[in-house]
Structure 1
Amino acid sequence: MSTKDDIAVEVEQISDKKREKKKLKSKKAEAEEHEEQLKRLQETQADFYEYMKEHDEDLLKFDANEFKDDDADVEAGADTDLEDIEKQDVVDYTPKLEIPKKKVNEQKTITSAMVDSWCKSIQEDAKLGAVRSILRAYRTACHYGDDTGDDQSAKFSVMSSAVFNKIMIFVLSEMDGNLRKLLRLPATGGMKGMIMEVIHTRPWKNYNHLVKSYLGNSLHVLNQMTDTGMIAFTLRRLKHSAVFLAAFPSLLRKYIKVALHFWGTGGGALPVVSLLFLRDLCIRLGTDCVDDCIKGMYKAYVLNCQFVNAVKLQHISFLGNCLIELLGTDISASYQHAFVFIRQLAMILREALNTKTKEAFRKVYQWKFIHCLELWTGAVCAYSSQSELRPVAYPLAQIISGVARLVPTARYIPLRLRCVSMLNRIAASTGTFIPVSMLLVDMLDMKELNRPPTGGIGKGVDLRTLLKVSKPAVKTRAFQEACVYSVVEELVEHMSQWSYSIAFFELSSIPILRLRSFYKTTKAERFRKEMKQLISQIEANSEFVNKKRASVSFLPNEPAAASFLEDAKKAGQSPLSQYVKIMRQRAKQRNDSLVETDVIVGENSAKFGKIAPSSDEEEDEEDRNEKGAAAFSSSWLPGSDSKEKEVEEERTKQKKRKRKSKATEKKQVEEGAGEDDVVEDYVFSDDEEEDLFEIAGDKDDDEEDAADEITDTETKSSNNKNSKKTKGTYKTWHKTYKKTKKKKSRVAA
């Protein structure tokens, strides 16, 4: 096409703009005529006017000036777009045939100078055209490399990695403040009610597409990124604009799903940043967001609890602390979810108690079930002062007690100890007496702890990472010591909680009798020494309480008994209060000696208590730029080869981690998340090993079961060697016996 034809096409476009303006003017006239008709309606049809005023008064409030303003805004927008085209495309309309002209739909390369000019216009003059241009460039950056085909509607197409980084840093750092200025909102913060009011105003009607473009393109690039630093910086900046998601429910659900994925599977600081994003959503948007977040986090927590070892234990504890922190954003909504999930756990336990089958026991005695109990135990302990969550403490304690008594054998002592520890925590936080002493002393009466060890010394047993121990490990000295010492420590924890009770002498009488019985029957001197020291401490505490209560005149069931020894309790003067500190220190030293490697989850540790910020202050501009420059310093572009390389590197790292974990785990359970992030029915799967849930006393295939359950590879190999030696010795004896029998027969002949 010649240059003259190009000029003719552009002139036609300008004439189209003028025709649109004429149409707008005709609409103004129609609006004015409609306003006059409404005024005449009151005179001609007064009854109908009163009816409309009573039922729908808004229809009568019609102002033609508002329509004129809208038209003016549209005309201004059209003029702005036209000016942008004139400035950016730089089209010369003079008929100079020797100068080549650019096509209107030709895509341009985004340069660093263009980005700098837009940023300068936004920061100094707050030009709306520059905001639109930088958002168009941001969309191109987020969708760079997508299969868009021959779409000529996109104004920009090509950019370098340096320009991509500059666009991303500026938009993520500055766009929230610019959008708030356009919408006439406070510089920071805001709640859902504020957005619900803004969506009915004129600025929102004019600029809501800019907000949706910013949030939608940011969501798209989050799904494309693989670098944890980039994702963390993007989420950290988007957290300040999270309140805008109240106006876009579909985007809100997608953001929740993405943040939940990063929280459950991310590394480094990403889980912490994702949690803060979800927590901010729950605080600002209320119940619309809380329900989805709690259900999604609970499901992600369960999926991460498939298997436990010493390394993964801290990560699971971190995830549990995060979920407990989120529950505190809306206690009333959290109670509804706690009630439903605890009821599901109770139904699973009831099925096991009624059917008493191996499949039913498998659903209870697996890590998912136990960690769910620990999660709700932590929630009850954290919010025990809140009246909403306190009622679930009783059914939760009943479920834990039932789980501890389900299969009362020595092989399930680790599981029973975990249950006792949970009951002690609930009792300490709620101030309610829970009789756990019988659960502990019953373990001391088991024959496996009273017989001499026949399996040798054995390797150290970490009861925190086990639910069930193998048959050969039960007979080792290391297992007996770990069980007895753990029982003593938990019993001291329980007794120390009630060491200031006026009825301490009565509640400690039966445990003392059982401890003395164990002291007399056991033949291990180390256990006798341990029991003797524990008994002496309990008796000393009984004397301490009896001396104090001899001088009081009220009965134990009177209200005055609640303040008995209150001053002594604050000072920690009872013998058991001082003895429990020694036991805790000993338990910590023993557990540290069993853990060979340490893992740090998040930025510093598995504790979440120091993560939540005390205030919602904005970051300084220099700090923002430093973090952004550090995050977007690579040559990554969406859809480029560098992305594929990073994906391959990430897959290689994951494969290495899996190989390392297989060295310590017997079987890695496959983990996967579904499409739906809402947990509707919590059903425990049967993907654990069969021998993990074998009922004690089952004599079928004892030899195969014993071989499969050996967790210590050294013990397993030594047992195999001994069995080979035994078989060889048996063959030799059999040959010798045959030769001797032949000789005897010859002699007899």
Structure 2
Amino acid sequence: MGKTGKATKKFQKNHLKHTLDHRKQVQKHSKLVQCRKKKPTGDNDNEPKGKSKEIFEDMSVDDFFEGGFEVPKPKKNAKPIESEDDESSEEEDIEDIEQNMKDLQSKDPEFFKYLQNNDKDLLDFEGSNPLDAISDDEEEEQEEDDVISEDEIEPVEEEIKNKVKKTEITLPLVKSWEKELVNKPSPKIIKQVCMAFKAAININNDSEEYKYVITNPKAFNQLMLLTLKQLPESIQTLVKYKNTNNVRVIPQKNQNVSQISAILKSHASSFITLLNDINNVETATLVLFSLQEVFPYYLSFRKLLKEILSSVINIWSSTKEVEIQIATFAFLNNVSKEFPKSIMENVLKLSYTIFLKNCRKTNHFTMPLLNFCKNSAAELYGIDETLSYQIGFEYVRQLAIHLRNSINATSNAKEGYKTIYNWQYCHSLDFWSRVLSQQCNPEKELQNHKNKESPLRQLIYPLVQVTLGAIRLIPTAQFFPLRFYLIRSLIRLSQSTGVFIPIFPLISEILNSNAFTKNAKRVHLPVFDFENNIKVNQQYLGTKVYQEGLSEQFIELSYEFFVLYCKNIAFPELVTPAVISLRRFIKKSKNIKFNKQLSQLIEKLNENAQLITQKRSKVEYGPSNKTEVQNFLNDFKWEKTPLGQYVIVQRKAKEARLKLLQEAIEQEEEARNQRKKADDDSDIEIDEAEDDDDEDDDDMEEEE
């Protein structure tokens, strides 16, 4: 059974109980009549009636069973089993029924009058049997409990639906509505437009009946523009917002507020339907604009407000169009800043949870959109940093619990690491690193908190510890791409917050793996994409292609880490252990190409260390003077340092490599689509050929 209509609900509320009571009284009366018809007329119920006993007078019980179950035939002179007493009893029953009707008229005149108006046949007993008016279904219903079943409601609902008259939405009708909304808006015309709009966008939904129906595409487009653009303006004409500290407030003294609120509450389902079906930028912009204009009316409906925000955030996190992402983020940012106390918590939690649900599929094409989601959500977490800290603490703690459970499970089960080594967990760590990088920047803290630290800065240490634990969970070459992905998150966090994180030991650990110590196999494989993968396939392990990729990643992450401190007064002490370990590796390594790259990196590190040593030889303060230490070479640009110049060149070379890799991936994807299209076309041709063969066979059979 479909969804119960409004007319049916109204019938159930006002008339269904009385109708069922009436039906029960009729059934009770009919049952009484039926019982009287079955009442025996003789004095002894065990004695057979009339002459029917003559059939078995000449046979005992033993003789009957001995002869089988053949019933003896009645005698020729035997009469049918019907006596005059039966006819007289029926007459008496009819007289009793008539007397009961007279008593009913005196005892319950209202019900008797109701029977006269609605079911007059029940009062007419001449020449008819009351049982004939009762169907088999009603006889079964009278044995059930007093429960309103769907079988009783459904016929009434169908009857009500059939009586609903449809109104065709035409272009002149929309024009007339537009004229009324512009000149003299009223709650009545606003309700009509909302009802028509709801019917138009649910035109393919058969589960609910609507008063309006639309078939003209031009009328549909005009109705869309009227509802989404003109309707909010007309509502503000009736109920004008009060602006208090750049926050829109609905005046409760206005007589139209209650009616408009009820209309917009029903209208919210139309917004949600449109948001779930958005497929172009124009529609998204128009819907979000209209929703933002009437958004204050939904603040009092908590459940409805959460559904609206969920629909918007779902588009923001799953769409493939950057313009739609920007439009949805702009909407979320505006309403969050205007109504932070009402919706901020929902926006932050929903943006995080829904994003994680939609980031399972990560590849070269989806990564830019996912990064935009993380960066834009990080901006939302900066609106109320105290609330953001509470939410962030809860989610970072969940990540730590998952890591602890995975560490405990690895000793007992082989699958324990899968809860950590997946894209959702990696995106979570990367997301929080972006949040802290944006909100805990010293310059931003100076601007927003007046030399005070951001509340979110307290999450840096636990997040770093969880990230380090995830990196070292499975230290094998197969998961080196995941290690590199999380190391980049730590480098970003260290660069933006100014917090020192010992990252180089994580990078140098890969030099002791089998990927570098064993001889690599030469195979023909495409270059592995470390930017968009966290796990390498088995076919790449132990190959020359993978080893060269690891070498490039090692050099890149090393110089990206050390360049963060290229102007730091303690740079010589920072790079000394790294230089010693790299020189030791070069002596043992037989990879000539990688050794040259490492030698070049060591050379730039030493040159930069000499520059810092030369500059700090002129200072007169000690390490305890933190202010002067932080201001060391503050006016000197990092690009002019030896290591900085080297990094700039390397970054340009990386951009060129990524561009070539992107073009190769796009060409491969295009070739794959062409092959798929060719296979589909060949399948169609084969099907058509088979159909032609079948037609030829049919023609030959007809000729034969």
Q: In 2 relative to 1, CA 597–117 (structure 1 residues): closer, same or farther, beyond 3 Å?
A: farther
> What is residue 119 of structure 1 aligned with on the other side?
178
Give, in whole Å, the separation in 1 of the partners of 2:204 and 2:475: 61
> What is residue 309 of structure 2 aligned with on the other side?
256
**Superimposed CA distance per residue, residues 401-437 of structure 1 (whole angstroms, 9 cap, x where no aligned partner):** 1222222233322222222212111111111111111
Give the letter for the 1:373 counterpart: L
Q: Secondary structure at the match of 2:531?
A: helix
With 559-568 and 362-371 compared, the bigger mean Cα shift is at 559-568
> What is residue 377 of structure 1 aligned with on the other side?
433
- 1:278-293 matched pairs, under 5 angstroms: 278-293=332-347
**Superimposed CA distance per residue, residues 84-119 of structure 1 (whole angstroms, 9 cap, x where no aligned partner):** xxxxxxxxxxxxxxxxxxxx9865433322322332
- 1:329-340 matched pairs, under 5 angstroms: 329-340=383-394
Q: 1:362 aligns with which of 399, 414, 418?
A: 418
> What is residue 576 of structure 2 aligned with on the other side?
509
Give, in whole Å, the separation in 2 of the partners of 1:376 and 1:130: 49
Q: Secondary structure at the match of 1:548?
A: helix
1:199 and 1:247 in contact (8 A); partners too: no
> What is residue 60 of structure 1 aligned with on the other side?
none
Note if 1:274 corresponds to 2:338.
Answer: no
1:297 and 1:323 in contact (8 A); partners too: yes
Q: 2:516 aligns with which of 433, 449, 453?
A: 449
Q: Secondary structure at the match of 1:425?
A: helix
**Superimposed CA distance per residue, residues 277-303 of structure 1 (whole angstroms, 9 cap, x where no aligned partner):** 333332233243222222222222222
**Superimposed CA distance per residue, residues 111-162 of structure 1 (whole angstroms, 9 cap, x where no aligned partner):** 32232233223324556665455445434434545547788xx4x5555332
Give, in whole Å, the separation in 2 of the partners of 1:188 and 1:300: 32
- What is the TM-score of this pair, normalised by structure 2? 0.64
Q: Secondary structure at the match of 1:389?
A: helix
Q: Secondary structure at the match of 2:440?
A: coil
- 1:613-652 matched pairs, under 5 angstroms: none
State the 1:391 CA deviation.
1.2
State the 1:568 CA deviation.
4.5
> What is residue 244 of structure 1 aligned with on the other side?
297
Note if 1:544 corresponds to 2:603.
Answer: no
Q: In 2 relative to 1, CA 221–491 (structure 1 residues): closer, same or farther, beyond 3 Å?
A: closer
Give the letter for the 1:123 counterpart: V
Q: Secondary structure at the match of 1:119?
A: helix
Q: Secondary structure at the match of 2:566?
A: coil
> What is residue 12 of structure 2 aligned with on the other side?
none
Note if 1:586 corresponds to 2:618.
Answer: no
Q: Secondary structure at the match of 1:508?
A: helix
- 1:75-94 matched pairs, under 5 angstroms: none
State the 1:240 CA deviation.
2.4
State the 1:354 CA deviation.
3.4
State the 1:529 CA deviation.
1.4
> What is residue 49 of structure 2 aligned with on the other side?
none
Q: In 2 relative to 1, CA 303–596 (structure 1 residues): closer, same or farther, beyond 3 Å?
A: farther
How many residue pairs align between the two structures? 494
Give the letter for the 2:314 counterpart: H
Note if 1:466 corresponds to 2:522.
Answer: no
Give, in whole Å, the separation in 1 of the partners of 2:277 and 2:499: 51
Give the letter for the 1:558 counterpart: N
> What is residue 304 of structure 1 aligned with on the other side?
358
Note if 1:402 corresponds to 2:469.
Answer: yes
State the 1:169 CA deviation.
0.7
Give, in whole Å, the separation in 2 of the partners of 1:595 and 1:228: 26
**Superimposed CA distance per residue, residues 208-265 of structure 1 (whole angstroms, 9 cap, x where no aligned partner):** 3344354444445555777775455323332222222113333212212222332333
State the 1:516 CA deviation.
0.7
Unaligned runs of 5+ in 2: 1-162, 446-453, 667-672, 678-704
State the 1:535 CA deviation.
0.9
Give, in whole Å, the separation in 2 of the partners of 1:429 and 1:227: 36
Give, in whole Å, the separation in 2 of the partners of 1:436 and 1:343: 22
Give, in whole Å, the separation in 2 of the partners of 1:163 and 1:254: 29
Q: In 2 relative to 1, CA 534–223 (structure 1 residues): closer, same or farther, beyond 3 Å?
A: closer
2:187 and 2:260 in contact (8 A); partners too: no
Give, in whole Å, the separation in 2 of the partners of 1:485 and 1:161: 58
Q: In 2 relative to 1, CA 491–209 (structure 1 residues): closer, same or farther, beyond 3 Å?
A: same
1:444 and 1:484 in contact (8 A); partners too: no
Note if 1:434 corresponds to 2:434.
Answer: no
- 1:119-138 matched pairs, under 5 angstroms: 119-126=178-185, 130-138=189-197
Give the letter for the 2:416 counterpart: A
Give the letter for the 1:109 counterpart: E
> What is residue 173 of structure 1 aligned with on the other side?
229
**Superimposed CA distance per residue, residues 525-573 of structure 1 (whole angstroms, 9 cap, x where no aligned partner):** 2112111111111111111011111111222232244344334444643
Q: Secondary structure at the match of 2:545?
A: helix
Unaligned runs of 5+ in 1: 1-103, 600-655, 661-749
- What is the TM-score of this pair, normalised by structure 1? 0.61
Give, in whole Å, the separation in 1 of the partners of 2:276 and 2:283: 12
Q: In 2 relative to 1, CA 264–189 (structure 1 residues): closer, same or farther, beyond 3 Å?
A: farther
1:332 and 1:388 in contact (8 A); partners too: yes
RMSD of aligned Cα (Å): 3.1
Q: In 2 relative to 1, CA 547–223 (structure 1 residues): closer, same or farther, beyond 3 Å?
A: closer
Give, in whole Å, the separation in 1 of the partners of 2:664 and 2:372: 17
- 1:72-221 matched pairs, under 5 angstroms: 107-126=166-185, 130-144=189-203, 146-147=205-206, 154=211, 156-157=212-213, 160-185=216-241, 191=247, 194-195=249-250, 198-205=251-258, 207-221=260-274
Q: Secondary structure at the match of 2:294?
A: helix
Give, in whole Å, the separation in 2 of the partners of 1:426 and 1:217: 43
State the 1:511 CA deviation.
0.1
Structure number with greater Rg is: 2
1:142 and 1:218 in contact (8 A); partners too: no
Give, in whole Å, the separation in 2 of the partners of 1:306 and 1:127: 48
Give the letter for the 2:364 counterpart: A
Higher relative contact order (CA 8 A, sep 6+): 1
Note if 1:498 corresponds to 2:565.
Answer: yes
Q: In 2 relative to 1, CA 279–237 (structure 1 residues): closer, same or farther, beyond 3 Å?
A: same
Give, in whole Å, the separation in 1 of the partners of 2:345 and 2:642: 47
**Superimposed CA distance per residue, residues 566-619 of structure 1 (whole angstroms, 9 cap, x where no aligned partner):** 3444464321122111222222222222224689xxxxxxxxxxxxxxxxxxxx
1:455 and 1:472 in contact (8 A); partners too: no
Identical pairs, percent: 25
1:501 and 1:564 in contact (8 A); partners too: no
